[in-house]
Amino acid sequence: MSGEILSLVMFAVACGVLLLGFPVAFSLAGTGLAFALLGDALGVFDMPLLGSLPSRYFGVMTNELYVAIPLFIFMGVMLERARIAEKLLTTMGMLFGTMRAGLGISVVIVGMLLAASTGIVGATVVTMGLLSLPAMQKAGYNPRLSTGIICASGTLGQIIPPSIVLVLLGDILQGAYAEAQRALGNWAPEPISVMDLFAGAFIPGLLLVGLYICWIIIQAFIDPKAAPALVTDKRPEGLWGEVLRALLPPALLIVAVLGSILTGIATPTESAAFGSIGAMVLAALYRRLSWDVLRYVVRQTVQVSAMVFVILLGASVFSLVFRGLGGDHLVEELLHNLPGGVFSAMLVVMLLMFIMGFFLDFIEIVFVVIPIVGPILLKMDIDPVWLGVMIAINLQTSFLTPPFGFALFYLRGVAPAAIKTWDIYRGIVPFVLIQLLGLCLVGAFPFLATWLPGVLF
């Protein structure tokens, strides 16, 4: 028992250490190591268990599925450098800008298109912040509304496939689900794959897009000054041709990447490679492909991939020690003994993740929390695709919740001084509520997540 108590103390201490601000990977691993030594001294932890670390690291280095992650990162950074978003934003703005709420809606649509081709949150928010924030300011948009729109649309890439969150979740849920089903005596569980999750997240992603757009329209009707039309009421000549030309490249990429995944022609990893080559070709067509750009893109790819995987390596020390101390049994008992069974267990886990999202990045939540609660929830015979999509919406929300919302930081970094940080924080509140509404809808109507994978596969 004392080991289990120690595991809880470790969790609390880790939260404290994380808040100091040292890189997450080493805060987690360092705390884990300290408690392993402490547990060893108290006779409740077996040090040789840590001998499995090199094997686990090597397991990450040989995980075929994870190769998709650097590839999607490469693709996203390349698209950003190719300025495809820029072109889309300006033409969409010209197309819809003359309508009330039109500019805001066009930002949401561009966010959705970028999300469906790859969706690196940082790149999307920065690009849209640089281009559409000034335009919305000029049109007289309420700064809170405009920053909220940009941040929320910029994070769509995490929920609309292809998405790194879903790749990571798919890998973890796969094993957890099979294990849970066998524990329930089902010897022939349907295998779930990353593609199931991609298909499952598609409609909920579009649902969120719809909710954002509804909210902008409602705003425009309640308070016409919040989202006015552009002053120029004339559309330039040949606009439709421009629109087509701007839409074509992302459309092709979406077909190449999402099409190849959802039809099962390619594994997520291979489709990410198609997308990466596609992004390079587009950049070349736009005459943006130079050695400088390539150098920038490959360096960013290294840094972001290393960041993701080093957290994974650090978190694996932490979770190994947590497990070694018996912490997983404790969580299991806790969730199983909740009154109300599945519903309350789900509610508690979702709430926990939402709250952790205020302080932690999605990757930490995926690597630390899901391996512990995932198998337990799935043993309650919950649909794994539905669970994965619920988690993904929750994690997407963590990008938007102050104080530590990445999307908010990125926007702050590029927003003009006239926009106050407070505006950004206030502006995101309705969108966080929309996210929660989306989460409740998918929670109440699981077919939103489970229908498409059922039809496709």
Between residue 392 and residue 421, which ones bind other proteins under the rule CB under 8 A? Answer: 403-404, 406, 410
Site for Na ion in 329-388 (CB under 5 A): 357
Closest approach of Cβ 66 to Na ion, in Å? 17
Say which residue the tokens 């470790």 belong to.
10
Tokens standing for residue 109: 């649509």
Of 155, 192, 188, which is closest to residue 172 (Cα–Cα)?
192
User: Where do we find the tokens 């940082």?
Assistant: 122
Q: Does 109 bind Na ion (CB under 5 A)?
A: no
* Among 436, 396, 420, 357, residue whose Cα is nearest residue 151: 396
Q: What is the DSSP letter of 368?
A: I
Task: Kindly state the smallest distance separating residue 391's Cβ from other proteins, in Å.
Answer: 16
> Residue 293 CB: number of other CB atoms within 10 A?
16
- Closer residue to Na ion in complex, CB, 119/326: 119
CA distance 117 to 230: 29
Among 191, 340, 341, 454, binds other proteins (CB under 8 A): 191
CB of 451 to other proteins, least distance (A): 18
Q: What x-and-dash track marks residues 328-367 binding other proteins by CB under 8 A?
A: -------------------------------xxx-x----
Q: Which of residues 156-175 bind Na ion (CB under 5 A)?
A: 157, 160, 163
The residue within the footprint of other proteins, chosen from 65, 203, 243, 293 (CB under 8 A), is 65
Quick one: DSSP state of residue 255?
Answer: I
Applying the rule CB under 8 A, the residues between 101 and 130 that interact with other proteins are 120-123
User: 3-class SS at 156?
Assistant: helix
State the number of binding residues for Na ion (CB under 5 A).
Answer: 10
Does position 257 bind other proteins by CB under 8 A?
no
CB of 268 to other proteins, least distance (A): 8
Measured at the alpha carbon of residue 19, what is the angle toward residues 18 and 23, in degrees to the nearest 5? 45
Instruction: Count CB-CB contacts under 10 A for residue 8.
Output: 14
Contact 220, 227 (CB under 8 A): yes
Query: What is the nearest approach in angstroms of other proteins to the Cβ of residue 122?
Result: 4
Residue linked to tokens 């040989």 = 62
Minimal distance, residue 344 CB to Na ion, in Å: 24
By CB under 5 A, name the binding residues for Na ion.
115, 119, 157, 160, 163, 357, 398, 401, 404-405
